[in-house]
Structure 1
């Protein structure tokens, strides 16, 4: 074989290898696990900005939302899951579907924007949810709360977006200690988790939300710094999330970066490797 022919053959083999690898990765991500990097502080202190995890897509079965969205802004690539699997959208059903449990931490597609969000399941279909003076009420009953000290973090730019935390002891200077009261919340059924409160904020008291059939109500654990179901979609919030928009359950943090870049290994938090998500 001449040299040009050999070069062409090796190039074709390389292209085939890359294509096969991408297909295998796409199938794996669609059916089994999807990587997710926590971009905001709405789930502190359960999840921190810079936590990297895999979402278990087998937890609730499959819908159009199980197809991956591919967004690479610097390359101008914006392929939405609906562009790939939109033919399956609309019936609010799932293949091999199972229901999420109250207290699950779930990644889901925003019903309007299609962006991936991660929050905690609070309200199930047919239930009522309300916040009264910072206390969560489900079906008219207050959940149990127990004081659990103070959550502290450094007041500094966090993650690739350069976000700064909200502090109960504000104002706090750059590099200072940012504090938030921490409580342990026990949901009906016995699921427990930590919640943070900065102070008396607008979403600490709401009207009564009645969750429609086939939908779920989500709230972030960092109650005063979360865009979630407490704000209707028409007002820029999440509102009620359809069953088919669930992507999967978050079970464990793989690793965590406290820096501005995920792969800056010198900024990785040594105490969060394989941390279980409760």
Structure 2
């Protein structure tokens, strides 16, 4: 009997340990850093498919979007942290800066997206011939070497890269690249495939408590250039921000982060600029 009691106690202690570990991991993920695996090429060359990073959730404070979606249980962030969903505000809130790379919750679908902030509240944004006009002034673009990658299926979703011209499997896929510079001097690389519909837009005015986002891979990004009701992102409310992407921890060019032979050694601990 004593032996059975000891076994029962051991099982109870194991369950307690697992539960507490899950609670601690959940609190850490909600309050401090959220892991994020780059699923698409919309932020190339800044972020590649298979980059793994931690999102700094302390950067802009907390809202309902700070809570994770637990889709296997059918729980949305609003089911868990709905008490924070109040008039587009945040607890211990801080404002993003133009050029920040941010993970946010899509205003309609609730999916997590990662893009770059281009427009702040009160800004006007327009794209003409692929050039961004911020408050009526063009953001300078300095041409640089083409971004080149292998024309092959990428990531767990087996996505095909888009190239400036048709390329056979295994060939070099080129995209034109340029260094775009913000008014404060912050710069980053943007890619161009060719003339696309989103390369020419109307003038957008960013409303109070909203932000305008674009992907760095300009012709392969669903972002604020297309209204949310038309299948795009539109303006993103302040409360939908999840956190800032600061640094890539490691990167895998394969279908899984565990395929260590596909890890990209030159991207370990690389800063997101």
Alignment TM-score, normalising by the size of structure 2: 0.98
Q: Report the secondary structure of 2:22's partner residue.
A: helix
Q: Distance in 1 between matches of 2:7 and 2:106?
A: 47
SS at match of 1:79: coil
Q: Which residue of 2 aligns with 1:221?
A: 216
Q: CA deviation at 1:77?
A: 3.6
Which residue of the partner structure matches residue 256 of structure 1? 251
Instruction: Report the Cα offset of residue 87 of structure 1.
Output: 2.3
Shift of 1:4: 2.1
Hey, what does 1:191 align to over in structure 2? 186
In 1, Cα distance between the equivalents of 2:242 and 2:42?
18
Q: Which among 213, 231, 237 is matched to residue 236 of structure 1?
A: 231
Distance 2:31 2:136 in 1: 38
Q: Counterpart in 1 of 2:11?
A: 11
Give the CA deviation at 1:197: 0.2
Structure 1: tracts of 5 or more residues without a match: none
d(CA) in 2 for partners of 1:79 and 1:35? 18
Q: Secondary structure at the match of 2:271?
A: coil
Task: Give 1:145's match in structure 2, choosing from 141, 144, 163.
Answer: 141
Two-structure CA RMSD over aligned residues (Å): 0.9
Q: Structure 2 residue aligned with 1:123, among 94, 116, 119? A: 119
Residue 3 of structure 1, CA deviation: 2.3
The 3-state SS of whatever aligns with 1:248 is strand
Say which of 189, 200, 205 aligns to 2:200.
205
In the alignment, which of 88, 92, 95 is matched to residue 91 of structure 2?
95
1:146-199 CA-to-partner distances (Å, cap 9, x unmatched) read: 000110000111000000010002x11111110000000001211100000000
Q: Decide whether aligned partners of structure 1 residues 257 and 218 sit closer, same or farther in structure 2, where only a CA change above 3 A counts.
A: same
Q: Deviations over 1:111-153 (max 9, x none)?
A: 1111100000000001110100110001111111100011000
User: Which range moves more in the overlay, 263-272 or 77-86?
Assistant: 77-86
Count of residue pairs the alignment pairs up? 273
Q: Distance in 2 between matches of 1:80 and 1:145?
A: 40
**TM-score, normalised with respect to structure 1:** 0.96
Q: Distance in 2 between matches of 1:80 and 1:12?
A: 30
Question: How far apart are the structure 1 equivalents of 2:145 and 2:262?
Answer: 26
Deviations 1:23-60 (A, max 9, x none): 10011011110000000000000000000000000100
The answer to whether structure 1 residue 24 and structure 2 residue 24 are counterparts is: yes
Distance 1:193 1:267, change over 3 A: same
- Local SS of the residue matching 2:220: coil
SS at match of 1:91: coil
